[in-house]
Amino acid sequence: MLVRCGPLVARLAVAALLVLASGCAWDGPMSTVVRGSDFNRAILRVYTIITWATGIIGLVVFVVLGYILMRFRRPPDTRLPAQIRGNTLLELGWTIMPAIVLLVIAIPTIQIIFRTQTQGAPAGALRVTVRAWQWWWEFRYPDLDVVTANELHLPVGRSVVLELEGPDVIHSFWVPHLGGKRDVVPGRHNRIVLTPETPGLHWGQCAEFCGASHANMGMRVLVQPAAEFDAWVAGQKATPPEPTGAAADGQAIFAKSACVGCHTIAGVSAGVLAPNLTHFGGRSTLAAGMWPNTPDNVAAWVRDPQRLKPGVKMPDLGLTEEQAKAVAAYLTGLK
């Protein structure tokens, strides 16, 4: 019976391995092994050393174990061999060798820690103030006079200083392609210095439990060539066109509702407790990356935000369906 089950068990094991392997992606949106910046390359250098060290140790252990199992198999009816009480050479070996392995791992690890923790701002670096709120991200460019939310734009090849601030509770800034996570703590000043090296879209996420909608506190980082980044900055500084038609009705509804107490729209409102909406229509997502930024989704959002993002602090505005569509037309037109 055992002989018959052997091939079946082997096939099931191979099938399970294939299923598990199919879920792996080397360059996925939240992969930590994508070298998107110099910061992440430095971290991956340490990972490489640790991987090789553990791989060699594992290989040696299994080879020695296999040899011992085969060489010293006890035949049937063999008496118990004489017992050994201590071996100085073996004890020195398994004390010194792990110490050497730890030293090989510790030296580059400490070097990277000091390099990434104490690095000052390089000359000409782009400064970005990152403010983590429940449950969204605010990005301020103090030298460019630009404020946006949930979508961080960075120029490729230019050093960036991310100044991390926590206005409410503890959060953690984490964009796996660009580097390791770092806590955003109220009353504490943390920073990340990096140079983006890979243009394109990089996904991020809050990595510290911060409340009901922590899992929905995502962000998008767009690393762009210098010319595209400059064009984006110019667009952020431009005044959105005056709304017409349904969008004009939406502006009037927005200006008369509780929205103005929390959101900023240049020339309309100056709230500071919620995302700046001056150029909201130019963003690809809403609700911290949860939903595509379409008129239908925006209308559903302003009518019932709790349905789209449980735990969100945006109140129910009591808008009718027509009013929500008008507000959505206004907001999606702010580009």
Q: What DSSP line would sit under 63-88, residue for residue?
A: HHHHHHHHHT---TTPPPPPPP---H
Contact 319, 303 (CB under 8 A): yes
Q: How many domains does the chain have?
A: 2
pLDDT at 83: 79
Q: What span, in angstroms and rounded, lies between the C-alpha atoms of 48 and 103?
A: 15
Asked, for residue 305, whether it belongs to a domain, the answer is yes
Handedness of CA 298, 299, 301, 307 (dihedral sign): negative
220 shares its domain with 286: no
Tell me the CATH number at 253.
2.60.40.420
First to last CA, the chain: 71
Residues 6 or more apart whose Cβ sits within 8 Å of residue 222: 151, 152, 153, 154, 200, 201, 202
Question: Which band of pLDDT confidence, cut at 50, 70 and 90, is reported for residue 263?
Answer: very high
pLDDT at 75: 77
Write down which residue in 214, 238, 262 finishes a domain: 238
154 shares its domain with 261: no
pLDDT at 132: 95
230 shares its domain with 255: no
Write down which residue in 238, 268, 290 finishes a domain: 238
For 199-235, the pLDDT digits (tens) are 999 999 999 999 999 999 999 999 999 999 999 999 9
Would you say residue 2 has pLDDT above 50? Answer: no
Segment (H or E) for 106: helix 88-117
117 shares its domain with 45: yes
pLDDT at 23: 65
Return the C-alpha torsion angle 246, 250, 256, 257, nearest 10: 140
172 shares its domain with 34: yes
Task: Read off φ and ψ for residue 111, nearest 5 degrees.
Answer: -60, -45
In DSSP notation, 153-205 reads EEETTS-EEEEEE-SSS-EEEE-TTT---EEE-TT--EEEEE-B-S-EEEEEE
275 shares its domain with 301: yes
0.95 exceeded by pTM: no
Q: What span, in angstroms and rounded, lies between the C-alpha atoms of 173 and 181?
A: 5
| Average pLDDT in the chain | 89
Identify which has the larger pLDDT, 7 or 243. Answer: 243
> Which candidate, 160, 166, 194, places its Cα nearest to that of 180?
194
Asked, for residue 77, whether it belongs to a domain, the answer is no
Would you say residue 329 has pLDDT above 90? Answer: yes
296 shares its domain with 322: yes
**Across residues 304-315, what is the average pLDDT?**
91
117 shares its domain with 200: yes
pLDDT at 3: 44
Asked, for residue 14, whether it belongs to a domain, the answer is no
Asked, for residue 106, whether it belongs to a domain, the answer is yes
pLDDT at 87: 84
177 shares its domain with 269: no
Would you say residue 141 has pLDDT above 60? Answer: yes
128 shares its domain with 183: yes
For 21-32, the pLDDT digits (tens) are 666 667 778 888
Asked, for residue 84, whether it belongs to a domain, the answer is no
250 shares its domain with 288: yes
Residue whose structure tokens are 């796996």? 176
pLDDT at 5: 52
pLDDT at 202: 94
For 40-82, the pLDDT digits (tens) are 999 999 999 999 999 999 999 999 999 988 888 777 777 777 8
Q: What span, in angstroms and rounded, lies between the C-alpha atoms of 35 and 27?
A: 10
In DSSP notation, 254-322 reads HHHSGGGGT-EETTTEE--SS---TTGGG-SEETTTTEE--HHHHHHHHH-HHHHSTT--PPP----HH
Whole-number Cα distances in Å, 320 to 253, 311, 315, 332: 11, 22, 15, 18
101 shares its domain with 200: yes
Task: Read off φ and ψ for residue 286, nearest 5 degrees.
Answer: -135, 170
The parent domain of residue 303 ranges over 246-332
Asked, for residue 43, whether it belongs to a domain, the answer is yes
High-pLDDT (> 90) share of the chain, %: 64
Asked, for residue 150, whether it belongs to a domain, the answer is yes
Please work out, in degrees rounded to the nearest 5, the angle formed at the alpha carbon of residue 64 by the alpha carbons of 58 and 70: 130
Write down which residue in 187, 207, 238 finishes a domain: 238
